[in-house]
């Protein structure tokens, strides 16, 4: 597998002929339970009275490898490089049957803390431009393991969607001297028609222009570009955000089982790039957030094959339904 850059959209694509892709994957015994026999190497763990509360492990079949050189090179007008980076599995809970929406706020808080620590640690490598944290849950969402896990990838490039956000955030700030995310949040809280719930400094809302039905964002009220910085310095993240995340996932699961969850945080500004302008203003014009994209099997077709996102449930209706959903508490 290698990375190729689309010269038009400037997005990197991982492509190649993967021999493992055609054979069905069988998971066998769980590799992430505390007593697993074929566990991969543990990278970091947060201790608890009974052993560990959350830990990070090497992905058994990583997309990115730490060894080697990216070897970025031209190919006529094109760009390509090897998939050098890091790929880790974050085990959210030692218990196989305790997903994020079933865990205690304390357990979710530990997972968030581990995520912040891993992102910060991976950013110490000056070659790393961006660290992604994501979770795919449900058979239609590409879930890989049955154990409660999220994944972390560290890459030599900034993923496309984040790049769009960084460019847009910088342009908005240049024009208005304000953060676009702060402005969105202020208007949403004033209008209140798309706010699902607020907990302390964190707000869950339906975006004005959703890409899929029931799309939900979780945004901190206070301006902060980097999740990992807040994650390690503000205790509220590990209590209020944990509770809001748990309750929001419970709400979404009253509508559908599967979802994609992704954290959008600032790129690796410990080692600023000389060519990318947004690196200089990142602390002012970017604002971290979590995006949750529910997967509705029945409606998948309608937005997968269209060039324009088609979301047949309005955010206002979706938010009303999610707000009124019966959840455990």
Q: Which is nearer to Zn ion, 3 or 163 (CB)?
A: 163
Q: Is 274 strand, coil or helix?
A: coil
**CB 259 to Zn ion: min, Å:** 15
Per-residue CA distances from 96 to 20, 34, 88, 93, 228 (Å) = 26, 9, 18, 7, 26
* DSSP class per residue in 55-92: EEEE-SS-SSBSSS----EEETTEEEEE-BSEEEEEE-
**CB 60 to Zn ion: min, Å:** 13
Q: Which is nearer to Zn ion, 83 or 288 (CB)?
A: 288
φ, ψ of residue 259 to 5 degrees: the values are -160, 160
Q: Which is nearer to Zn ion, 197 or 291 (CB)?
A: 291
**CB 124 to Zn ion: min, Å:** 24
Q: Which residues, 6 or more positions from 56, have their beta carbon under 8 angstroms from its beta carbon? A: 42, 43, 44, 45, 88, 89, 90, 91, 114, 118, 152
Residues that bind Zn ion (CB under 5 A): 30, 32-33, 96, 147, 179, 181-182, 223, 264, 287
**CB 145 to Zn ion: min, Å:** 8
Q: Which is nearer to Zn ion, 179 or 242 (CB)?
A: 179
Q: Which residues, 6 or more positions from 170, have their beta carbon under 8 angstroms from its beta carbon? A: 277, 278, 281, 285
Q: Which is nearer to Zn ion, 118 or 264 (CB)?
A: 264
Q: Which is nearer to Zn ion, 123 or 147 (CB)?
A: 147
d(CA 203, CA 53): 26
Closest among 243, 168, 285 to 251, alpha carbons compared: 243
**CB 110 to Zn ion: min, Å:** 17
**CB 321 to Zn ion: min, Å:** 23
Question: What ranges make up the beta strands (E) of the chain?
Answer: 2-5, 12-15, 42-48, 51-58, 73-75, 78-82, 86-91, 130-137, 149-155, 195-199, 202-205, 216-220, 258-264, 289-295
**CB 263 to Zn ion: min, Å:** 9
End-to-end CA distance of the chain: 45
**CB 69 to Zn ion: min, Å:** 30
Q: Which is nearer to Zn ion, 30 or 44 (CB)?
A: 30
Q: Which is nearer to Zn ion, 168 or 182 (CB)?
A: 182
């Amino acid at each position: 597998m290698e990375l190729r850059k689309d010269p038009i959209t400037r997005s990197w694509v991982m492509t190649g002929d993967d021999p493992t892709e055609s054979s069905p994957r069988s998971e066998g015994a769980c590799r992430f339970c505390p007593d697993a026999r074929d566990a991969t190497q543990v990278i970091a763990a947060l201790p608890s009275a009974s052993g560990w509360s959350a830990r990070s492990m090497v992905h058994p079949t990583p997309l990115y490898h730490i060894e080697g050189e990216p070897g970025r090179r031209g190919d006529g007008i094109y760009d390509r490089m090897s998939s050098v980076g890091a790929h880790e599995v974050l085990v959210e809970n030692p218990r196989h049957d305790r997903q994020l929406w079933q865990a205690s706020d304390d357990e979710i808080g530990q997972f968030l803390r581990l995520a912040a620590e891993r992102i910060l640690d991976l950013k110490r490598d000056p070659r790393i431009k961006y660290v992604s944290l994501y979770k795919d849950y449900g058979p239609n969402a590409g879930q890989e393991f049955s154990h409660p896990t999220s994944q972390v990838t560290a890459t030599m490039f900034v993923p496309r969607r984040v790049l769009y956000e960084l460019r847009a955030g910088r342009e908005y700030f240049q024009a208005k001297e304000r953060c676009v995310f702060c402005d969105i949040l202020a208007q949403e809280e004033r209008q209140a028609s798309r706010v699902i719930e607020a907990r302390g400094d964190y707000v869950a809302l339906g975006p004005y222009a959703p890409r899929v039905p029931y799309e939900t964002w979780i945004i901190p009220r206070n301006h902060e570009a980097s999740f990992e910085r807040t994650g390690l310095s503000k205790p509220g993240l590990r209590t209020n955000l944990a509770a809001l995340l748990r309750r929001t996932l419970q709400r979404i699961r009253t509508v559908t089982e599967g979802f994609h969850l992704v954290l959008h945080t600032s790129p690796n500004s410990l080692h600023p790039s000389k060519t990318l302008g947004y690196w200089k203003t990142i602390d002012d014009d970017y604002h971290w957030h979590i995006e949750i994209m529910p997967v509705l099997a029945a409606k998948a077709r309608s937005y997968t094959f269209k060039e324009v996102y088609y979301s047949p449930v309005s955010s206002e209706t979706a938010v009303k339904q999610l707000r009124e959903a019966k959840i455990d508490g």
